[in-house]
Amino acid sequence: MGKIAFVFSGQGDQYPGMGKELAANYPTAEAVFNMCDEIRPGTSSQCFEGTEEELKETRNTQPCLFAMELAAAEVLFEKGIRPDAVAGFSLGEVVAATAAGVFDKKTGFRLVIKRGELMQREAEKFDTSMAAVVKLTPEQVQELCANYSEVYPVNFNCPGQITVSGLSAQMPDFFADVKAAGGRALPLKVKGAFHSPFMKEAAEAFAVELAKAEIQGSHMTLYSNKTAEPYGSNVVELMSKQICSPVQWEKIIRDMIARGIDTFIEIGPGRTLTNMIKKIDSEVKACAYTEYLAEVEAC
């Protein structure tokens, strides 16, 4: 029998109304939203009724996604579904760490609030943006980025898809170069050049916040975006530097598969990670948590 991994999504999949049905149908999920509202009033209403523009703001996106994703994970736990390993894409790594017991729920939520505020602050200092580059190899994208002083390859998602961050003023020329090389550049629904040197000060400030937090040992294998390997005792260093370092997602998934993971359950409002994983290895099972939950409840 194979092993299961929970993978927690990052910014970009958020949408107005996310988590509303989850909270309405599962008291366990509702309890998570209530906890988040106690710490950050209005979190659930932002998830359930906020506008798309409101949810694009990083200071809102991150706590809202944390609430929705942790609520979904708690429902799966309640159903007896326990993963052998967990990983999260960018923001999702904080949710994964919380689900794994590295932080208690309240600490994890307070940390993600601070993370969103710090990253928003840095994003507002510069006119920057992100885009997904498809149909090119990592090497091609790196070569194109090297022609620009402030465009960086930041998320190595799956074969044929690399995310870049950079100055908005340099992006049109970069997009033209991508097209000339046979690829496509697709702007992302985020405001900021995340996982790039633009986020260095946010990473340093977040390290200070992490150092204040009570950190426990993980109940399951937790992967680092920065190293693509399981965490050790270096939570403060890896989780803070993750903010200004590339996300090695494809390497994480390949390492999980090599260690026997053959079922990936995406915890989040969309299917972005599911689609990436299927491109990395079409033989493994990858599905949204709603699909897996429906299978379990049908048994």
Query: Encoding tokens for residue 135?
Result: 């149909």
Q: 289-298 and 58-78 are packed helices; what angle lies between their axes, rounded to 10 degrees?
A: 20
Q: Which residue carries 């989780």 as its tokens?
A: 239
Q: What DSSP element (H or E) covers 130?
A: strand 128-134
Give me the sign of the Cα torsion angle 271, 167, 47, 212: positive
CA-based torsion, 45, 48, 50, 54: positive or negative: positive
Q: Is 214 exposed, middle or buried (0-12, 13-18, 19+ CB in 10 A)?
A: exposed
- Using DSSP, state whether 251 is helix, strand or coil: helix
d(Cα 265, Cα 83) in Å, to the nearest integer? Answer: 9
The two tokens of residue 14 are 């958020």
**Structure tokens belonging to residue 28:** 């366990």
- Distance, in Å, from the CA atom of 80 to the CA atom of 53, rounded to the nearest integer, reads 37
Strand 221-222 relative to strand 85-88: parallel, antiparallel, unpaired?
A: parallel
Which are the catalytic amino acids?
90, 195
- Alpha helices, DSSP H, located in 134-187: 138-145, 171-180
